[in-house]
Amino acid sequence: MPVIRCDVLICGAGLAGLSLLYRAMKSGTWVTEQIIVVDKSDKNINDKTWSFWKTGPSDFEEVISHQWGKLYFFSNDGIKIHLDNQNYTYNSIRSIDFYNHVLTYLRQFPNITFVKEDIVKLNSADNECTLVTAENTYQSTYLFNSVYTEPEKLADRQYFLQHFKGWRIKTDAVIPAISEAYLMDFRTGQEQGTTFFYTLPMAGNELFVEYTLFSKSILPAQEYDAKIKDYLANVLQINDYEIIEEEFGVIPMIDHPFKRFQGNIVHLGSAGGDTRASTGYTFVNTQKTIGKILNSYQLKGDPFFEAENISVKHQLYDTTLLHVLAERKYEGHQLFKDLFSNTAAYRIFAFLDAETSVLQDVYIMKSLRVMPFLRSFTAAVYRKLFRKQ
């Protein structure tokens, strides 16, 4: 099997891998390095949508397909809360728009090679990385991996999934205004655990609805469709519509101790722990990690930064929430109702983006019931200090 040498290997051409390469080339960080990107797909279909809140311009403003300034929350018992998001907006990027934009830019660089091959294994030893595919072996100084593999489960850790099915529909029925988004709509059954809808108007006659669950196993395919149909008919009063696009996905919501660095391998995205365990949101954390990597390159010529965006403090918070949800002594729909009823949304967004102080954290936590969290938080601290997991 031939060995192909380069300076930088990127394993996985999804959000994390392509964001890293795009931003590196935009900043002039890797203009002289030979770079190989390996992925098993061509990235020529709209396979997912990334949504996130933000307060200012992002690195991908050109490909934001929709932005909402008025955000609402619906409780399980039908109470509507207009969220105080101040200057935060909720945003969505269609993956096909992202792929087309980023790949068009990257393919003009002669030092970048894209390879469509199945990845078999990765390794790092003696300051060198090796990536093996079915056809070739690649070697580089640094390897950036964003291909997520399910980790071996550890005792006393929580392994939730955020799984969802979304429909984009066209209808002549009345839908929310184009500027309004239902960030969490709990007007659906809670028998499977914390369950809600994202409801996002895309045009005057187009609506995206996504049935989302926080639980430890996925459902039979037909159950997602049945719940969406029920929500459209009985909650939104929409009976006549055409499904123009469908989406299904699974995101890990786990407090597993991911490793960022493995020799000269740097793990990104969900593979590197950039998915916030308490929410499943990944986009913003991944971009912050990429910023730290590129800053480290510019300062000292390597990708090894020190302080993670999702710090030990935030990991403890996430672990605590997952244990509370697992015990179901504080139902998820009630927890989120208490949170959004008693705390301004802009404070919650900053908290979930790991941008708050301990004092601000305490202010937010006061909106929730104390006892379910105190027990789980104490257990999380004990495990962190004494079990080293």
Q: Mind listing the pLDDT tens digit for each residue in 181-213?
A: 999 999 999 999 999 999 999 999 999 999 999
Predicted pLDDT of residue 382: 62
The answer to whether the predicted template modeling score (pTM) of the entire model surpasses 0.85 is yes
Instruction: Categorize the per-residue pLDDT at 154 as very low, low, confident or very high, splitting at 50, 70 and 90.
Output: confident
Q: Mind listing the pLDDT tens digit for each residue in 244-256?
A: 999 999 999 999 9
In whole angstroms, what separates CA 138 from the centre of its chain?
A: 29
Q: Mind listing the pLDDT tens digit for each residue in 40-65?
A: 999 999 888 999 999 999 999 999 99
What single DSSP character describes residue 150?
P
Place of tokens 């489960």: 153
CA-CA distances (angstroms) from residue 27 to 21, 23, 94, 286? 10, 6, 24, 17
168-180 b/e with 16+ CB inside 10 Å = b?
bbebeeebbeeeb
Does position 376 have pLDDT exceeding 80, yes or no? no
Of 172, 171, 199, 205, whose CA–CA distance to 186 is shortest? 199
Q: Burial, 331: exposed, middle or buried (Cβ in 10 Å; 0-12, 13-18, 19+)?
A: middle
Predicted pLDDT of residue 94: 95
Of how many residues is the chain composed?
A: 389
CA-CA distances (angstroms) from residue 88 to 184, 276, 346? 16, 19, 7
Q: Side-chain half-sphere of 74: how many Cα atoms within 13 Å? A: 17
Answer whether 284's CB lies under 8 Å from 310's CB.
no
Predicted pLDDT of residue 371: 80
Q: Mind listing the pLDDT tens digit for each residue in 279-288?
A: 999 999 999 9
**Rg of the chain (C-alpha set):** 22
Predicted pLDDT of residue 157: 87
- From the CB of residue 383, how many other CB atoms can be counted at a distance below 10 Å? 18
Place of tokens 């510019």: 298
Q: Mind listing the pLDDT tens digit for each residue in 289-333?
A: 999 999 999 999 999 999 999 988 888 889 889 988 988 889 999
Q: Side-chain half-sphere of 148: how many Cα atoms within 13 Å? A: 20
Answer whether 24's CB lies under 8 Å from 287's CB.
no
Q: Side-chain half-sphere of 384: how many Cα atoms within 13 Å? A: 19
Q: Burial, 189: exposed, middle or buried (Cβ in 10 Å; 0-12, 13-18, 19+)?
A: exposed
